[in-house]
Copies of this chain bind each other. A is one copy, B any other.
């Protein structure tokens, strides 16, 4: 067992996630050296951190913790492992959000999915008190994403998060739940069996050691991992004050695309999504649009929604003017059409002859009428 790994286990047990002091310390000393210095408590540069966690750190038995975790089917992933997701290191190079920053010291993982292979995953997050509309949309988009081989990351909360995980599972896709507690803790309790389902095919992940319970700050530090894990964040319903907007802030800070699904402006649950779009987030309505925004440039170009081209669309404006001049229920002479269309009789005749070939108009005793084909288009 490498000293770095054991030291990271110890650090994950005593520091709160996102501690502002850790990235610089890790870069300067390395994990094993930090632990020794914090326990010794004699490095004046580490005075505050040592007072905070030194005594607890001294009593950690990291090897025993790893052993106990392994028995519960939980592994501890660090930067020295192949499956360490490179995107997490971006967290060491951004400005803090709400006084938190930094890659996790390690990840506790339950489930067969290798984290490093979860490249191009997309986060689908949103309101706990979501509407039926929001949940349907989240499940639909999550399903479309996993069908395109893009794992879906979310936070296993009530509402949108749950719908996103279930949408991915229902299409037999890979989904990852990032928790604000230990990966062996069911939070919320009602989601215990869903978390087990996720752990059977995907992964349940946390930077907190097994057994740890949720705290308010931990939801915010957890959100930074959801953003860092993903190539883009989709917000489906969010109130103005919501964790989903916090996740979007992390995504923005990390230069991940922020997307949001619109809803009725009369729905409080969509206010946060609309505010995100107003501030520059991308409006998305379906999986293909999410793929386009969160994939390498050009690999998922989406056709705009456009109407089909009708026969009439191919006419010149002058020809349309002639066709429009024909009345629906009365055959007209060439001269009548010319006057109504403001087009010379010569040109009217030319247009009508071409339109007759296409079946748009017909002659009736030298007068002209629209056909049913013209009326349909």
Contacts and interface: CB of A to CB of B under 8 A. Distances in A.
Number of copies: 2
Interface in A256-312: 261-266, 270-271, 274-275, 277-279, 282-283, 285-286, 289, 304-307
Contact of A274 (B19, B215, B262, B275): B262
Contact of A278 (B137, B283, B346): B283
Nearest to A326: B215
A338 B56 CA distance: 10
Contacts of A347: 48, 51-52
Given A265-B261, A307-B240, A99 B316 contact: yes
A346 B282 CA distance: 47
A15 interface: yes
Contact of A53 (B48, B51, B342): B342
A186 interface: no
Given A271-B305, A346-B51, A339 B100 contact: no
Contacts of A304: 275, 278-279
Contact of A263 (B262, B279, B306, B343): B262
A137 B265 contact: yes
A321 B217 contact: yes
Nearest to A218: B324
Contacts of A98: 317
A28 interface: no
Interface string A313-345: 000111011001100000000000011011111
Contacts of A266: 133, 136-137
A344 B307 contact: no
* Residue of A100, A261, A264, A324 contacting most chain B CB atoms (<10 Å): A264
A321 B218 CA distance: 9
10 contacts: A51-B344, A51-B347, A56-B339, A100-B317, A215-B324, A241-B307, A264-B264, A274-B283, A277-B283, A278-B304
Closest 4 CB pairs of A and B: A262-B262, A51-B344, A241-B307, A99-B317
